[in-house]
């Protein structure tokens, strides 16, 4: 089977702590501070034909701190802001649930909240991705656990410049 038949490679990124600084519940554009090199890393991945997919837990929705609409508005703003760097997110998946701190009907045990692999598996199916040629970059062990459960290699981002980290994680491409 050729690589094209097997599916496209992707880099999955957690949002808070990988793309933008994790300063608590980030849901307004004025609260977004890019991680150093994040827009450039996304553009670099785009130029190398990786699908760039965000997989992010957003328990602030379940907790009633912000709404799905607020999340969608911020995501739209991020798409526009990243475009100024020549960067594109191919898809954004989020989990609005929390099993113990959420408000009904979002206070459930779901298959999408990391460390479960639901968001990654959905993206693989929706976008025709090859998990064996893909990578998940996260800042928490739950990101890596979700990646492993989906058959995707995961690497822990310790902070610093994301572009430098991505280049190193992809073996100096």
Q: Where are the domains of the chain?
A: 12-169
What pLDDT, in 10s, does the model give residues 97-146? 999 998 899 999 999 999 999 999 999 999 999 999 999 999 999 999 99
At residue 173, the pLDDT reads: 61
Find all residues with CB under 8 Å of 162, minimum gap 6, and list them.
18, 19, 35, 36, 37, 38, 40, 41, 137
> Which region, left, alpha or beta, applies to residue 119 given φ > 0 means left and ψ of -120 to 50 means alpha?
alpha
Indicate the burial class of 149 (C-beta count within 10 angstroms; 0-12, 13-18, 19 or more).
middle
At residue 102, the pLDDT reads: 83
Can you count the helices (H) and strands (E) in the chain?
7, 5
d(CA 155, CA 168): 11
Q: Which residues of the chain have pLDDT under 50?
A: 1-3
At residue 9, the pLDDT reads: 98
107 catalytic? Reply is no
CATH class as words, domain 12-169: alpha beta
Q: Which of 14, 90, 130, 143 is catalytic?
A: 14
Find all residues with CB under 8 Å of 97, minimum gap 6, and list them.
59, 62, 106, 107, 108, 109, 110, 112, 113
16 catalytic? Reply is yes
């Amino acid at each position: 089977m050729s690589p094209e038949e097997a599916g496209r490679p992707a880099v999955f990124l957690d949002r808070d702590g990988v793309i933008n600084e994790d300063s608590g519940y980030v849901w307004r554009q004025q609260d977004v501070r890019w991680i150093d090199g994040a827009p450039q890393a996304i553009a670099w991945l785009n130029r190398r034909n990786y699908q760039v997919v965000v997989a992010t837990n957003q328990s602030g929705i379940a907790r009633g701190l912000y709404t799905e609409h607020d999340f969608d508005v911020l995501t739209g703003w991020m798409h526009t802001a990243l475009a100024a760097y020549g960067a594109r997110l191919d898809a954004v998946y989020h989990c609005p649930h929390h099993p113990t701190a959420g408000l009904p009907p979002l206070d459930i045990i779901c298959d999408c909240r990391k460390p479960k692999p639901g968001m990654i598996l959905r993206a693989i199916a929706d976008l025709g991705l090859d998990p064996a040629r893909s990578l998940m970059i996260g800042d928490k062990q739950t990101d890596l656990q979700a990646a492993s459960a989906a058959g995707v290699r995961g690497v822990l981002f310790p902070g610093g410049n994301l572009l430098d980290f991505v280049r190193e994680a992809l073996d100096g491409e």
